[in-house]
A = this chain, B = another copy of it.
């Protein structure tokens, strides 16, 4: 888990998002054990308290559950995971559409912009660019 942090967003939020992504994309499955506070802190070279906070928040969102003395696990409720994916996508979508409208773009224009972006993106990928 190589990771660089963006200074504008709190580290614990960035890790939350990263873990959520891993779950949503299936790299972490329901019921999987996640690393311990100490392990992850060592790996990311950040303070254990920061990881602790990440996990606390994930637990509050019921994405992760603690089994005392044993460790933390991805929630085994698949429905919860689908809900997270939908919520995250919905947030992105809403923010994007609203933003574009506030800049004066109409519905059709927004669709066009996206189409164009997606096309470019796939072209780029075919040429093996990734930065």
Contacts and interface: CB of A to CB of B under 8 A. Distances in A.
A40 B11 CA distance: 27
Interface residues of A, number: 36
B105 A68 contact: no
A104 to B, nearest CB: 4
Contacts of A83: none
A97 interface: yes
Interface in A38-72: 47, 66, 68-69
12 contacts: A7-B66, A21-B102, A25-B103, A92-B95, A92-B99, A92-B100, A93-B114, A97-B117, A107-B118, A107-B122, A111-B118, A114-B114
